[in-house]
């Protein structure tokens, strides 16, 4: 069966079909188009997707969503962005899948991937998930529109940097289960306080399906505030983590992972996580609590968690000239920076940290950067390569404590790393996405022996 027919799309969007066609996928990036896709010609601040319609057809697209007539099969709508939203809502409406929504200040994408893997490990189960970090006002409807009608489960990530953004997204997703991973001072520049961040994340409960469940970290900042929001929404509440209903015991951690026993509402399961770090224990507990709330098999889910490897930009590891590179380059805030530095502290050999500045911290930026000195020192970092002007408070705090070098770009950070890297080193690379440390990772992967 096709994902969508032209008639289906026209009915969902209120658009007009130029021809009959069927599609097997949906994308708004012309570079991702494959045979049978539906290309959404999204407007943008820098360019207009209509410029790429012809190229999409050349790459095999079967149809396009447009707001002006084009050569080729298409659905004509007044507003392409609204049309994509309508298509996503139609996809949610037509499925009987059980839906999980995931948000939080840190760990959203990793937890979403882990949850999808845990559900998919069950025999004969069809799981759809949002890919990459498609978690905003365009990514969520795109992810919904890609969901086959016969899915058993859907797992969707929702992000924000302003209040009321998650409220809009959760109205499209309408989750049965809503999981908050953690609360940390990410995007505090726009929201002003941790209380406001907690309130913004709790918006995910506003469109829970009747009888829905809220999965909440018991040890999060302002957990009581989040629980009250869930109660106001009429949700059943399951807490996880220290002091939670779902908790970890008999935890043994080393540089290669963590052995633990998870106590859940229906029983307990012992397993090993390949991903090191206390933050992964928390992620795993949230995943298992969600699987249990969805009616899944927690034993099978624990097996899946034990098989997980690190994601690119979020904990993936590779070797470069005998050194272990820990790729956390996708994004950073104070909480995730401290957590990954703790992981680095368990690594054997010399420890090097390539750290990019953290964005969207507002008036708290200098202090939050300065406070990273503690985790750097505790991790036993011998060389800290700090990228960006915002890292000056951290550099000042580390003066005399460890070797520090400040640089202005990912490229100069690579040069600095080349100058000190030796076989047997462990290197953590982490920073906000805008710093561009992904380019440093790509360079290491492409030419590993040149360094």
Q: What is the pLDDT of residues 169-228, one digit of tens each?
A: 999 999 999 999 999 988 788 888 999 999 999 999 999 999 999 999 999 999 999 999
pLDDT tens-digit readout, 87-125: 999 999 999 999 999 999 999 999 999 999 999 999 999
- Residues 103, 57, single domain; the answer is no
Is 87 part of any domain? no
The CATH number that applies at residue 214 is 3.40.1190.10
Is 63 part of any domain? yes
In a 10 Å sphere around its CB, with 0-12 CB exposed, 13-18 middle and 19+ buried, how is residue 274 labelled?
A: middle
Instruction: Please provide the average confidence, as pLDDT, over all residues in the chain.
Output: 95
Residues 19/94/83/164 CA torsion (nearest 10 deg): -170
* Model confidence at 255: pLDDT above 90: no
> For residue 446, what pLDDT band results from cuts at 50, 70 and 90?
confident
| pLDDT for 256 | 85
- Residues 260, 113, single domain; the answer is yes
Is 89 part of any domain? no
- Residues 103, 190, single domain; the answer is yes
Number of domains in the chain: 3
- Residues 404, 444, single domain; the answer is yes
- Residues 222, 368, single domain; the answer is no
Cβ neighbours of residue 31 under 8 Å, at least 6 residues apart? none
What sign for the dihedral angle of Cα 32, 36, 37, 41?
positive
- Residues 370, 290, single domain; the answer is no
User: What average pLDDT does the segment 305-331 reach?
Assistant: 93
Residues 209/212/214/215 CA torsion (nearest 10 deg): -120
- Residues 328, 371, single domain; the answer is yes
pLDDT tens-digit readout, 268-317: 999 999 989 999 999 999 999 999 999 999 999 999 999 998 888 999 99
What is d(CA 50, CA 135) in angstroms, rounded to the nearest whole number? Answer: 23
- Residues 367, 416, single domain; the answer is yes
DSSP track, 103-170: E-SS-HHHHHHHHHHHHHTSTT--EEE--TT--STTHHHHHHHT--TT-SEEEEE---SSTTHHHHHH
Is 236 part of any domain? yes
- Residues 122, 176, single domain; the answer is yes
Residue 38, Cβ neighbours under 10 Å: how many? 30
Is 90 part of any domain? no
What is d(CA 134, CA 141) in angstroms, rounded to the nearest whole number? Answer: 9
Is 86 part of any domain? no
Unique residue bearing structure tokens 């002003």: 192
| pLDDT for 81 | 97
- Residues 437, 370, single domain; the answer is yes
Cβ neighbours of residue 161 under 8 Å, at least 6 residues apart? 187, 190, 191, 360
Is 9 part of any domain? yes
Q: Find residue 114's DSSP bridge partners.
A: none
Alpha-carbon separation of residue 209 from 125, 146, 238 (angstroms) = 22, 21, 16
* Model confidence at 449: pLDDT above 60: no
Is 88 part of any domain? no
* Model confidence at 422: pLDDT above 90: yes
| pLDDT for 450 | 47
| pLDDT for 448 | 54
Last residue of a domain, one of 266, 285, 307: 307
> For residue 440, what pLDDT band results from cuts at 50, 70 and 90?
very high
What sign for the dihedral angle of Cα 403, 405, 411, 416?
negative
- Residues 408, 334, single domain; the answer is yes
| pLDDT for 83 | 98
pLDDT tens-digit readout, 198-213: 999 999 999 999 999 9
The CATH number that applies at residue 427 is 3.90.190.20
Residue of higher predicted confidence among 145 and 309: 145
Q: Could you tell me the residue range of the domain that residue 58 belongs to?
A: 4-78
- Residues 221, 358, single domain; the answer is no
Last residue of a domain, one of 307, 324, 358: 307
């Amino acid at each position: 069966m096709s994902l969508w027919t032209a008639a289906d799309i026209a009915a969902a969007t209120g658009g007009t079909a130029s021809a009959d066609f069927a599609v097997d996928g949906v994308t708004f990036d012309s570079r991702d188009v494959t045979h049978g896709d539906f290309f959404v010609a999204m407007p943008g601040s820098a360019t207009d997707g209509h410029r790429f319609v012809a190229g999409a057809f050349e790459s095999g697209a079967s149809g396009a969503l447009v707001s002006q007539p084009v050569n080729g099969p298409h659905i004509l709508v007044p507003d392409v962005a609204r049309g994509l939203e309508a298509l996503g809502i139609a996809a949610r409406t037509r499925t009987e899948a059980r839906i999980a929504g995931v948000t939080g200040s840190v760990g959203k994408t990793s937890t979403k991937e882990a949850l999808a893997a845990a559900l998919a490990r069950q025999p004969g189960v069809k799981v759809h998930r949002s890919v990459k970090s498609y978690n905003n006002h365009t990514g969520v409807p795109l992810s919904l529109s890609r969901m086959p009608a016969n899915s058993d489960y859907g797992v969707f990530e929702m992000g924000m940097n302003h209040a009321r953004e998650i409220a809009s997204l959760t109205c499209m997703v309408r989750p049965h289960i809503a999981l908050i991973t953690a609360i940390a001072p990410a995007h505090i520049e726009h929201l002003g306080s941790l209380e406001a961040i907690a309130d913004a994340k709790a918006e995910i409960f506003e469109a829970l399906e009747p009888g829905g469940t809220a999965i909440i970290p018991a040890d999060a900042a302002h957990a009581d505030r989040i629980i009250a929001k869930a109660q106001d929404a009429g949700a059943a509440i399951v807490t996880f983590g220290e002091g939670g209903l779902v908790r970890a015991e008999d935890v043994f951690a080393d540089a290669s992972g963590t052995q633990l026993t998870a106590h859940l509402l229906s029983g307990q399961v012992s397993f090993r996580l390949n991903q090191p770090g206390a933050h992964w224990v928390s992620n795993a507990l949230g995943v298992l609590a969600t699987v249990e709330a969805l009616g899944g098999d927690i034993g099978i889910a624990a097996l899946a968690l034990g098989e997980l490897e690190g994601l690119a930009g979020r904990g993936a590891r590779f070797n470069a000239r005998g050194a272990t590179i820990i790729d956390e380059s996708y994004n950073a805030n104070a909480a995730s920076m401290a957590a990954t530095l703790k992981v680095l502290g368990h690594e054997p050999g010399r420890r090097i940290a390539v750290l990019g500045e953290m964005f969207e911290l507002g008036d708290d930026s200098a202090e939050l950067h300065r406070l990273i000195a503690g985790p750097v020192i505790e991790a036993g970092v011998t060389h800290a390569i700090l990228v960006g002007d915002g890292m000056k408070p951290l550099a000042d705090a580390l003066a005399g404590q460890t070797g520090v070098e400040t640089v202005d770009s990912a490229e100069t950070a690579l040069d600095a790393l080349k100058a000190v890297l030796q076989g047997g080193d462990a290197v953590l690379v982490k920073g906000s996405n805008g710093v561009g440390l992904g380019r440093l990772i790509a360079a290491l992967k492409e030419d590993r022996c040149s360094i």
